[in-house]
Amino acid sequence: MGESSRKKNKPVIGITIGDINGIGPEVIIKSLEDNRILKQFTPVIYGSGKVISYYRKALDKESFNYQQISSIDKVAHNKVNVLNVWDETIEINPGQANETGGKYAVLSLQKAVADLKEEKIDAIVTAPLAKDLVQSDDFKFPGHTEYLTQEAGESDSLMFLVHDALRVGVVTGHIPLKDVSDKVTKEKIVTKLQKMIKSLQKDFGIKKPRVAVLGLNPHAGENGLLGDEEEKVIVPAIDEVKKGHNIVAGPFPADGFFGMRSYKQYDGVLAMYHDQGLIPFKTMAFEEGVNYTAGLPFVRTSPDHGTAFAIAGKGEADETSFRNALYLANDVIRQRKENHFESDDEK
């Protein structure tokens, strides 16, 4: 990244606007309206000044100031930047799920990722989009995570939900439940565990992380009575990662593990599938937790909620998760610099 985009090593964080008819623009504005945030990093919203202006007026946030730029090379420090990815005026319909919202969410994401890959920005924080509305011949991904993993040139990444000391990753993400058992393989678990451990070390500064692994079946299989994936797949994966002198425990029955607050004894928890990890996480941390994509050469975070069309444009959205996503991105950038990790080390 050139000196023109740097100011006293202050990070430049790109923000994708998400679905313009969802709560993305609202939580972005609410998160950035406190100017104190500008002392820590320089935010760049990838979208349209017209969209931000619409929501600023609709939300009665007239004191929210920003500078419009046409290129990341013209970024203004100590200000909120809005990079105009498109110039045309588009119809904004808060709360309506339509093709327009999906189309422009993708345009915002693609432009931000292009700048990210060229190291013109230090991180990306993605506002929510509707997965079904972004599908096209040019964009066939279940969500942000899968797209960003491909763009990073990686074969895999880790969906990592973070809130204070609670960090939950998943082996399988956005796939049907009926496919989970076949996708939970020894190789997949080993990969996810290694990415979690490495992320805890270099992104969170935990030198010797303690990681817990959940079982797939009720009661973690009950010694084979309720399923054999634990004995045949999960335990061998844990044993292999342990050979690298890593602290890994399990497999634990998921219900008891969370019910007894056992997660407090660990730096990270690896769940086998999406809802197994995200239901307890969101029960404890919804509106505060952050979705972090671990295992990529660049930093990406997002709020742990979706587009919330039902409340879009009403001023009711809670921006805490999005603000926390910004702060986590900033923290990880700084942690990586302190650890002197280079992008190539992650591959």
Model confidence over 129-143: pLDDT tens digits?
998 999 998 888 888
45 vs 112: CA distance, rounded Å: 9
3-state DSSP assignment of residue 167: strand
Which residue type, as a one-letter code, is found at position 204?
F
Q: Give the domains, in start order, of the chain with CATH numbers.
A: 1-154+296-347 (3.40.718.10), 158-294 (3.40.718.10)
Using 50, 70 and 90 to split pLDDT, how confident is the model at 8? Answer: low
| Tens of pLDDT, residues 98-109 | 999 999 999 999
More confident residue, 221 or 111: 111
Per-residue pLDDT, 203:
97
Q: Tokens standing for 73?
A: 């090379």
Q: Average of pLDDT values for 273-285?
A: 95
| Tens of pLDDT, residues 172-198 | 988 899 999 999 999 999 999 999 999
Are residues 66 and 82 in contact, defined by beta-carbon separation less than 8 angstroms? Answer: yes
Whether 123 has a pLDDT exceeding 90, the answer reads yes
State yes or no: cis peptide before 297, omega within 30 of 0.
Answer: no
Mean pLDDT, all residues of the chain? 93
Whether 258 has a pLDDT exceeding 60, the answer reads yes
Whether 6 has a pLDDT exceeding 90, the answer reads no
Per-residue pLDDT, 7:
53
| Tens of pLDDT, residues 324-342 | 999 999 999 999 998 864 4
Whether 1 has a pLDDT exceeding 50, the answer reads no
Per-residue pLDDT, 224:
85
Whether 3 has a pLDDT exceeding 70, the answer reads no
Q: Average of pLDDT values for 282-287?
A: 90
Are residues 129 and 303 in contact, defined by beta-carbon separation less than 8 angstroms? Answer: no
333 vs 72: CA distance, rounded Å: 19
Are residues 21 and 94 in contact, defined by beta-carbon separation less than 8 angstroms? Answer: yes
More confident residue, 6 or 130: 130
Residue by residue, DSSP assigns 94-157 as: TT---HHHHHHHHHHHHHHHHHHHTTSSSEEEEPP--TTTS-SSS---SSHHHHHHHHTT-S--
